[in-house]
A and B are shown apart, each in its own frame.
Chain A
């Protein structure tokens, strides 16, 4: 009981502390803004890194997310938690990047790229070389299964991918995911269900 009370008190303290930081940042205090960034930047970078699968785009998403937050912090009205708000920005930016990538993929043919520049490594190899699996520690762990799962993840729609990422890898509750998406817990549940069904279908076939 004492531990629960202590944890509750701690949470209250943290949320009051965060409210103060947000207000200071809204008044132009850069130091306060940086403290807010530090509280959440690992989570945001992890999300971006997993969603996009490579360092360069993850760094871009990271930067774009916090710059958007910096510019629009004045409009933050404490209607949701800061955590939800910043995650909402990050997920939108990540989805934009995925969409842009899709468009780019349609415009550029890997094959023609190689044909036009035979001296260069193929674009697909370059992209593959900078993915999460270029991390040596990752390579050691179940590379084959991991790669199959990565392939399977590509069969999901954007929203399914997002909900699966947030629930499975980031460990967020579906209620919060619904809020992040500007939707409901029920919608998040449906996306999660569809995502796992598609993954199962893909993985049992390979």
Chain B
């Protein structure tokens, strides 16, 4: 191998991308070749500068992550809403009285039945064979069916496909550690039409915010919920983690953007109680709150900045 080829390998060596044997060969060559050793030293110095630059790149602003997730969820909601509109009878190209009669007759003949449930979001197509008779009977007995339409009916095979919406009563019991319980609580927290349910959910989640997903749900509620009560409860649940970077970022966001002075006061109190008085943090706090409408917040921040000097 020529010196040029060895020098080509130095980059890979510094990125730990050489095989054991190639690495050994290069090290041996560097030991014996002054020119390549010089190239190695120079490359290593450059690598070290670049590596220093990479420190801290792991961090992304946590409010950016929260914002991006929210925007994506909204967009997915919009897509799914649009899809369910197209499944409404008024828009369905197959919803004709003739098709209804045809399919009703096929159902009456006891031929295969596929129930396709559209509950505002696409759901897997269930068939009579994979759900079993009992579950279908229970689905029809306990649930309320609306917007039912015939998607397809094949007179030759006797296959019928129906689409509609089923609302079923739900009672579920379990511990907070259970994924289903947590997911149901997260769903309750996203229920835009029911602030009471969101408040209850945030209260329960605040009791054990040790899990990262719960912490994120609380941050989401603090930053985006329209209801001040829900935001305040989320903030209380997160208080003890106000020294953690992403919680601190969410509190700073609240301090700068929340319309409710009481919540901003709670945010600044938590930030001051759980963060050390280092000048850089005091400076950020001062920037965030120096123009606040509320005199108490302004005086609190001045006091904090004063004692941190």
Looking at chain B's contact residues, is the secondary structure mostly helix, strand, loop, or mixed?
A: helix
* Beta-carbon contact of A193 and B57 below 8 Å: no
- Give the contacting residue for A138; candidates B15, B56, B183, B280; CB below 8 A: B56
Partner of B64, one of A33, A38, A59, A67: A59
Q: Top 7 nearest A-B pairs by Cβ distance? A: A28-B122, A27-B124, A62-B68, A196-B11, A59-B68, A169-B57, A30-B121
Contact with B along A33-53 (1 / 0, CB 8 A): 110011001100110011000
B75 within 8 A of A: yes
Interface size classification for chain B: 35 or more
Q: Which residues of A contact B49 (CB under 8 A)?
A: 145, 149, 203
Further pairs besides A59-B64, A204-B46: 14, Cβ < 8 Å = A27-B123, A29-B124, A45-B68, A63-B71, A63-B75, A145-B53, A149-B50, A168-B50, A174-B12, A174-B17, A189-B12, A196-B11, A196-B50, A200-B42
Given known A59-B67, A193-B8, A203-B46, contact A70–B76 (CB-CB < 8 A): yes
Report if A200-B284 is in contact (Cβ < 8 Å); known contacts: A30-B80, A45-B60, A55-B64: no
Do residues A41 and B121 form an inter-chain contact, with CB atoms below 8 A?
no
Q: Does B134 contact A (CB under 8 A)?
A: no
Any A CB within 8 A of the CB of B69 = yes
Partner of A41 from the list B50, B52, B58, B68 (CB cut-off 8 Å) is B68
- Which listed residue (A30, A45, A137, A167) contacts B65, Cβ 8 A? A45
**Are the CB atoms of A135 and B61 closer together than 8 Å?**
yes
User: Interface residues of A toward B: which range?
Assistant: 35 or more
Which residues of B does A touch, CB under 8 Å?
Answer: 8, 11-12, 15, 17, 42-43, 46-47, 49-50, 52-61, 64-65, 67-69, 71-73, 75-76, 79-80, 121-124, 183, 213, 280, 284
Bound complex: CA A160 to CA B60 (Å): 23
Instruction: Determine whether the beta carbon of A46 is less than 8 Å from that of B46.
Output: no
User: Which residue of A is nearest B8, CB measured?
Assistant: A193
For B245, the closest partner residue in chain A by CB is A137
18 contacts between A and B (CB under 8 A): A28-B124, A34-B73, A41-B65, A41-B69, A45-B64, A55-B64, A58-B68, A59-B67, A137-B59, A138-B56, A141-B55, A145-B53, A174-B15, A189-B12, A192-B17, A193-B8, A193-B11, A196-B43
- B60 with A63: CB separation less than 8 A: no
In residues 49-92 of chain A, which contact B (Cβ within 8 Å)?
49-50, 55, 58-59, 62-63, 66-67, 70
